[in-house]
Each structure stands twice: as structure tokens, then as C-alpha cells.
Amino acid sequence: MFKFIGRQWRGEAPFWTSVLLASLLLPWALVLGGLSWLSVFTIDQTPYASMVAAAVVFTLIALLAVWQFVGTWRATSRARTPARGRIARWTGRTVAGTSLALSAVALLTVPGAMTSYYAEATDADWIGQRGHTLTIAGDGIVVSGYLSWGLYYEFVDALQANPAIRTVVLNSPGGHYAVGLRMGRLIRDRGLTTVTTEMCGSACTFAFLGGRERVLGRGARLGFHAMAGNTEVVLSRMQAHAAETLAAAEVPQDFIARIFETPSNDVWYPNTEELRAANIVTGSAN
């Protein structure tokens, strides 16, 4: 492997190995495969973990782009391949240049992605700017407002500082899907009860589902809708992830289908009987 890396860089790799493997297959596989993996990995990761993962993937793309282009350009020079015709040599260089351009297009997304992750991490995004509150009331935590990453870190600290917590009251219109998912895991691991006394919607419902007992207060509602994403690929993968999460919580498939039939700019509020039948709510004050 290391010998091949060195040979390719010096332009000493066999002509068609350099052109087809190093400049055609490897760059496209890394760009498409790396971006595909990143879109799945970052679904339920913290913004900081996503930044690190993105930095690793894009650094590899950049290094491979330079390595393949320089090596193939050298391998297709007249000095290296005197027996090759002009068409063969420039075909190889065209392939290397096209792969370099593909990598450059992928790398153009780096500033936007990193800015977005950093804004989420520091609550500078629109969800973080909407605000939230977290208070301790007896043996309960009361969460209000949007599920931002700042709220998540406060929630983690509150659980660690208050081992007697038994109940989490969730009154939130939603927020980051990964925040709701991670809060739900913490709640489930500690065997806590979740309650909503007003409204818990969108990402908040994934936190609510983490409760060992899940209680709907008098007049309270749970709201559901399809996922929202910045691209069709990201959207489809987030929706598949959410569907798996709901199915693992023993939510019936017809209920899951109804959720994703509701547009992301709308909200479906099932009645108490529907919520009980779907294993969303285990108790209510209604």
C-alpha cells in the first residue's frame, strides 16, 4: 500500500493503474462514499463530533485529490510514457483533472458545513436563538422552549448534579432531532418518567418516548410531522433513522406512516386514544 502511494506520487505507477485506479475509481469512491457516510454519521451526533468527522473526511478528499492529480500528471508525461500517444496521455490527464474538479466541488461545501455545525454547537442557529429554560422542581426537571444543543448540555449537567430526579416534564415545540434523540436515550437509561403538561412536538416527541412511563397532562398535546432536511438524500436518511427509532419503541407502522404523511410545515395531533394505542402514552390525566 505505502509503496503504491509513493509510486503513484512519483508518477512511477503503471499508466492505466494510475489513470483508472488512482484518478478515476479512488477519488469518486472517496467523495461519494465519504459524503454518504457523513450524512448518516452526523444524524445523531453532537455538532462537535460532526465537525471532527467532516474535517477528517474532507482532509482525506483534499489529500487524495492532490495525490492522484500530481501522480497521474507525472505518469502521463512524455518522459514517463514515451510510447504513449498524445490522445492516451491527455485522456489520463483529463480523467485526473475531472476527479480534481469533483473534489474541489465537494470541498466548497466545507465552510458552510463547519459554520452550520459551529452555530448549532454555540446556540447561534435559529433553534438556539429561540431560547429555552430548564428548572429543577423537587424530583423533576422541567424543560421549556426549543431543543437546542445548549439545552442538551444543560440537561446532561442537571441529571449528573441531581441523581434523585425521577420525572422529566417536556413542553417544547421541537428543535434538533439529535437533541431529542439523545435526551430520550438518557431518560431511558435512567428509567425516568416523561410528562408533557402543555405541548411536546416534533423532536421533543423522541425525548418523550424515552420515558419508562409516558404521561399526557390534562389538555396537553403531542405533535408529529415528517422530518425536514436540507437535501433529499439527507431528508430520506433522517426519515429512515426516525422510522427505525419509532419502530424500536414499538410504535405501530400505520402510526409511523401517518407521521411521515404529515408535511414538515404542519403538525398532526393524535387524540389520547390514538396515542395509547400506538404505545406513545402509557398514562394521562385526561
Q: Is the pLDDT of residue 60 over 60?
A: yes
| Rounded Cα gap, residues 101 and 65, in angstroms | 9
- Give per-residue pLDDT as tens, 200-228: 999 999 999 999 999 999 999 999 999 87
| Rounded Cα gap, residues 195 and 214, in angstroms | 6
Q: Is the pLDDT of residue 157 over 70?
A: yes
More confident site: 164 or 21: 164
- Give per-residue pLDDT as tens, 143-156: 999 999 999 999 99
| CATH of the domain spanning 126-284 | 3.90.226.10
Residues 6+ apart with CB under 8 A from 172: 132, 143, 144, 145, 146, 147, 199, 200, 201, 203, 204, 207
pLDDT band at 230 (very low <50, low <70, confident <90, very high): low
Question: In three state form, how does the secondary structure of 24-77 look?
Answer: HHHHHHHHHHHHHHHHHHHHHCCHHHHHHHHHHHHHHHHHHHHHHHHHHHHHCC
The label of the residue with cell 416527541 reads 205
| Rounded Cα gap, residues 30 and 210, in angstroms | 36
Q: What percent of the chain has pLDDT over 70?
A: 98
Please, are residues 134 and 158 in contact by the beta-carbon 8 Å criterion?
Answer: yes
Please, are residues 200 and 223 in contact by the beta-carbon 8 Å criterion?
Answer: yes
Q: Is the pLDDT of residue 93 over 60?
A: yes
Structure confidence at residue 21 (pLDDT): 86
Q: What DSSP designation does 19 have? A: I
Q: Is the pLDDT of residue 283 over 90?
A: no
Structure confidence at residue 285 (pLDDT): 65
| Rounded Cα gap, residues 64 and 23, in angstroms | 9
Q: Is the pLDDT of residue 77 over 90?
A: no
Q: Is the pLDDT of residue 253 over 80?
A: yes
pLDDT band at 2 (very low <50, low <70, confident <90, very high): confident
| Rounded Cα gap, residues 78 and 30, in angstroms | 29
Residue 203: name the closest of 241, 154, 162, 252 by CA. 241
Structure confidence at residue 202 (pLDDT): 95
Q: Is this structure's pTM higher than 0.85?
A: yes
Structure confidence at residue 81 (pLDDT): 73
The DSSP code sequence of 94-147 is HHHHHHHHHHHHHHTTHHHHHHHHHHHHTT-SHHHHH-EEEEEETTEEEEEE-B
- Give per-residue pLDDT as tens, 4-55: 889 888 888 888 788 888 888 999 999 999 999 999 999 999 999 999 999 9
Q: Is the pLDDT of residue 80 over 80?
A: no
Is residue 227 helix, strand or coil? coil
SS3 content of the chain, % helix, strand, coil (to 5): 60, 15, 30
**Cross-strand partners of 133:** 144
User: Any idea which of 13-27, 43-57, 93-107, 169-183 has the lowest mean pLDDT?
Assistant: 13-27
Q: Is the pLDDT of residue 160 over 90?
A: yes
| Rounded Cα gap, residues 12 and 8, in angstroms | 6
Q: Is the pLDDT of residue 286 over 70?
A: no
